[in-house]
Each structure stands twice: as C-alpha cells, then as structure tokens.
C-alpha cells in the first residue's frame, strides 16, 4: 500500500519557487490500477517521481508498504526502489546500443542476479510482452509500440509490486496505445499495482479509478464501474 499524507513539494531555483505539490493526499491499495490525469504543469510527474522514490518531498508523510520513506537513508531508499518499483516512461528510455535482451537485463545486473537466472527471467519477460524471438534486435529495429513493450519487460524483470507509468502511450498511435494498455491490464490482473499518468481520457476510463491533479492537489476522483462513472 502507498500512502501519502499532506505531501508538499517545493522546487527552489535561484529566481523562482514552485509549489509543485501541496497538501497532497492519496492512498493506493494493493492491486489497484489508477489513472492520473490533469493539466500540464499540475504536478503529475512530480507525484510519480516522489511515489517512485526518485525524488525527495519537502513536507508531509509518505509510507510505502508501511515503511516511512522519510526515515530511510539514500541506500535504504535505493534498495526499496529496486525491490518494489518499476518505471515506464513516455520516451521508452531504452539504451540504443544494447539489444533487447541486454536492455531488459540491466535492472537484474543492478540487483546482482546471476547470469543463468537473468537469462531465464529476460526470456520470460520477452515472452510475456509478446516479443519472444526478438532478443537480439536493437531498439531502433522495432516500432514504437514494440519498444514500449520492451520497456515494460525491463520494468517487469525486477518483479516489482508497483508499476509507475508516466505517459506510457504518449508517443504511440492509438492502436499501439490500446495494445500497451491491454498489456498493462493483464499485468494488473496478475497482481501488479499500477499508477499511470496519462492525457488519454479514453485509456483513463478503462481503469477502475481515476484521479485528477490540479495545482498540485488531488482535485477529484472518479470510480468507474462497468464503464459508468460513480462518484
């Protein structure tokens, strides 16, 4: 479970001060699939980066599976992130010189997993995203949708309990976007908790719970049941 209570985030540069999040409150239960929408600059990426332990917050309390993040040192935070969290980004963030196998292997090397086990897991993940047999292709030899599936495989390799996705379909045409969404739904059904930032209202409506962020706060949430909004 992910629990944020009165989270504030202040960005301070020489000239400007930006309150990116203010009194931000959110609980995400185990097994949920949540879509996060909101205007540009409203704090969606900031929220996701804090949730994923990539960025510190300025105030409030954040607990992940009961662990108070504010009490951890840098190493403990990195370990927790590697253990529990997978990321997917709009730009895929694959390493262009590495083939698919090597890209997916990166987080496993980082976690000190042995070669034989790495091979097994990479092959499983490629299979899971429908790209078995493409292990030795380079990212540039794939379509955008396929590259995003590789990025999802890489995120899955570490068997994360939480998958955080920042505009995962932002660079894809609508058919590929729907395919990636279907894959995320399958992952969610097999137990991964997913938080997805998106501008795509159609995809957002496919998830059971939507939250909207406006001016650094959760402005509204909607529960969809069988396609009908219930507030």
User: What is d(CA 72, CA 75) in angstroms, rounded to the nearest whole number?
Assistant: 8
Min dist. Cβ of residue 68 to ligand ADP (A):
11
Q: Which lies closer to ligand ADP via its Cβ, residue 60 or residue 99?
A: 60
In the window 78-137, what residues touch ligand ADP (CB under 6 A)?
78
Min dist. Cβ of residue 52 to ligand ADP (A):
9
User: What is d(CA 161, CA 167) in angstroms, rounded to the nearest whole number?
Assistant: 19
- Please list, in sequence order, all residues whose beta carbon lies within 8 angstroms of the beta carbon of residue 186, skipping any fewer than 6 positions away: none
- When binding is defined by CB under 6 A, the residue of 20, 126, 165, 172 that contacts ligand ADP is 20
Strands (E), 13-80: 17-28, 33-37, 59-64, 67-68
Do the beta carbons of residue 213 and residue 38 sit within 8 Å? yes
Is residue 14 involved in binding ligand ADP (CB under 6 A)?
A: no
Min dist. Cβ of residue 43 to ligand ADP (A):
4
Min dist. Cβ of residue 34 to ligand ADP (A):
15
- When binding is defined by CB under 6 A, the residue of 11, 110, 130, 223 that contacts ligand ADP is 11
CA 204 to centroid of chain Cα atoms: 14
Q: Which lies closer to ligand ADP via its Cβ, residue 126 or residue 195?
A: 195
| Region near ligand ADP per CB under 6 A, out of 39-47, 112-120, 155-163, 187-195 | 39-47
Do the beta carbons of residue 90 and residue 37 sit within 8 Å? no
For β-strands 209-214 and 217-225, DSSP reports them as antiparallel
Is residue 73 involved in binding ligand ADP (CB under 6 A)?
A: no
Q: Both tokens of residue 73?
A: 């040192």
Which residues bind to ligand ADP, rule: CB under 6 A? 11, 13, 18, 20, 38, 40-46, 53-56, 69, 74, 77-78
């Amino acid at each position: 479970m992910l629990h944020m209570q009165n989270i504030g985030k202040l960005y301070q540069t020489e000239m400007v001060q930006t309150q990116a999040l203010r009194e931000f409150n959110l609980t995400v239960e185990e097994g949920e699939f949540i879509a996060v929408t909101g205007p540009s600059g409203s704090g969606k990426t900031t929220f996701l980066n804090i949730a994923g332990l990539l960025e510190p917050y300025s105030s409030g309390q954040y607990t992940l599976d009961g662990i108070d993040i504010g009490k951890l040192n840098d190493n403990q935070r990195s370990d927790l992130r590697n253990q529990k969290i997978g990321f997917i980004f709009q730009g895929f963030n694959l390493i262009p010189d590495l083939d698919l196998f090597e890209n997916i292997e990166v987080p496993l090397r980082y976690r000190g997993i042995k070669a034989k086990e790495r091979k097994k897991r990479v092959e499983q993940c490629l299979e899971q995203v429908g790209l078995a047999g493409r292990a030795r292709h380079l990212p540039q030899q794939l379509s955008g949708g396929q590259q995003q599936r590789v990025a999802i495989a890489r995120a899955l390799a570490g068997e994360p309990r939480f998958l955080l996705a920042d505009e995962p379909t932002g660079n894809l045409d609508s058919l590929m976007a729907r395919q990636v969404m279907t894959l995320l739904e399958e992952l969610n059904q097999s137990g991964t908790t997913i938080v997805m930032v998106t501008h795509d209202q159609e995809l957002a409506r496919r998830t059971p719970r939507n939250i909207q962020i406006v001016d650094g706060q959760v402005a509204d949430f909607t529960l969809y049941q069988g396609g009908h909004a219930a507030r």
